[in-house]
Structure 1
Amino acid sequence: MENDYNVSNEGNQYSTQMDPNKSVMTMGDWIVTLLITLIPCVNIVMMLVWAFGNGNENRKNFCRANLIVQIILSVLGFILYFTLFASLMAAGYSNF
């Protein structure tokens, strides 16, 4: 009967320790993240690295959401641009 109470927890160590990838990001981490996203060209590369790499889940979700929004806005921008361009060409403004 004593063995029932002395069950070792060696196989379950992972669940008792906090996963660093799921920890809350500090304000400093967010400031660094936002500053890096302000640098042209570097921001796209770092967004892809953070979105699809092994890192903090908060940053990963932020980068994935940001990439999705950027793709949607880019598609809408191209549609608007080409719609405006086509309407100007149809109206006879061929000086473009």
Structure 2
Amino acid sequence: MITILLSAIPIVNIVMLFVWAFGSSTNPSKANWAKATLIWMVIGIALAIIFVVVIGTAIFSGMESSSFE
């Protein structure tokens, strides 16, 4: 229960996930969960960046091709 509570706090969650994922004294089950969570975080950040780039490109190209005369 404390694991999920700590992973809900911003900044602390990233630090604790790295400690749990790569710490030598961590339960293997918790270490695997932390590694999987870190992987999902990276996937989410990558998808968010791709989404922002695609939407931003669409908006800027739409603004460039339209004329307000």
Short-chain TM bin: 0.7 to 0.9
Look up the match of 2:7.
37
Look up the match of 1:74.
45
Deviation per CA, 1:13-53, whole angstroms, max 9, x where unpaired? xxxxxxxxxxxxxxxxxx01000001110000000000011
Partner Cα separation in structure 2 for residue 42 and residue 77 of structure 1: 21
Q: For structure 1, list consecutive stretches of 5 or more residues without a partner in the other structure.
A: 1-30
After TM superposition, what 4+ stretches of structure 1 lie above 6 angstroms from structure 2? none
Look up the match of 2:34.
63
1:76-95 matches, cutoff 5 A: 76-92=47-63
Structure number with the higher helix fraction is 2
Deviation per CA, 1:37-72, whole angstroms, max 9, x where unpaired? 011100000000000111100100000000001101
Q: Which has the larger radius of gyration?
A: 1
After TM superposition, the score normalised by the length of structure 1 is: 0.64
Greater relative contact order, per chain length (Cα 8 Å cut-off, separation 6+): 1
Look up the match of 1:52.
22
Percent of pairs with identical residues = 35
Q: For structure 2, list consecutive stretches of 5 or more residues without a partner in the other structure.
A: 65-69
After TM superposition, the score normalised by the length of structure 2 is: 0.88
